[in-house]
Structures are given as structure tokens and as C-alpha cells.
Amino acid sequence: MSSHKLSFTKVAETADVPAGALLKVKIKEKEILIANVDGKYYAIDNTCSHKKGDLSKGTLDGKIITCPQHGSRFDVTDGKNAGGPKMMMFRSKTDDLNSYEVRVDGNDILVFQKSTWGM
């Protein structure tokens, strides 16, 4: 087995995340959001950078996930903040999320596991 393969962890099967769907998975206590955008899979942090909203309960529109708490928006393809929380009449900024490399191997969805996660 190559060391490269060792750095990817199976998190789900493709049937678990149909097009337009979201799935929250855990790798070593870290919550990751898997999103299927037009048949391509992406992985970003599941926890909103504003006040820890659960993004798996948000809405996915194209490649943009909207947090169910205060409406921050993130691009699931790279984790970048596409609009901060909407508080009162104003939209502020919040931090970008981490994004992770995803691979599909047969029916398996694999996410690259960084060594900083305690490997």
C-alpha cells in the first residue's frame, strides 16, 4: 500500500450523497461537510467560522452553502467565505473554512487527512 493512499480516509459512499446533497462526517472528532455539486464531491469544515453553526443543516445552492444560523455563505469548492453573517440589516465578514481534497474510488468517497489532525 502506498503512503499516499494511507493519507486518504473513507468517509462515505457515493450513494450517501446524491447530487445537491450534503453529508456531515467525522474524522478523528473533526466534523467535515461533504457536498455533491453536479456529481463532483467537495469537503470543507462543517462548523461555521462565525458562531459554530452546523453547515450540514444549511442549504446548498449550486456551490454555495448558507449557514442555518445567521446566513453566512461559503463556497464548498474551496471553503472561501462568500458573504458573512447577516445581523440586523448588515452583512459582515467571517473567516474562510478549510477545504480538503476529495477522491472517489469506486463507490467510496475518500477525504485527504492532514497530518495536523493528529496522525
Least distance CB 73 / ligand FES (angstroms): 9
Binding mask 68-87 for ligand FES (x = CB under 6 A): -xxxx------------x--
Nearer to ligand FES, 5 or 51 (CB): 51
- Which residues lie across from 111 on neighbouring strands? 9, 102
Out of 11, 23, 37, 67, the only residue in the binding site for ligand FES (CB under 6 A) is 67
Q: Does 56 bind ligand FES (CB under 6 A)?
A: no
DSSP sequence for 4-67:
HHHTEEEEEEGGGS-TT-EEEEEETTEEEEEEEETTEEEEEESB-TTT--BGGGSEEETTEEE-
Least distance CB 101 / ligand FES (angstroms): 24
Closest CA to 56 of 38, 34, 77, 37: 34
Q: Hunting for cell 452546523 — which residue is that? A: 54
Number of residues that bind ligand FES (CB under 6 A): 11
Nearer to ligand FES, 51 or 93 (CB): 51
Do 108 and 10 touch, CB atoms closer than 8 A? Answer: yes
Nearer to ligand FES, 92 or 107 (CB): 92
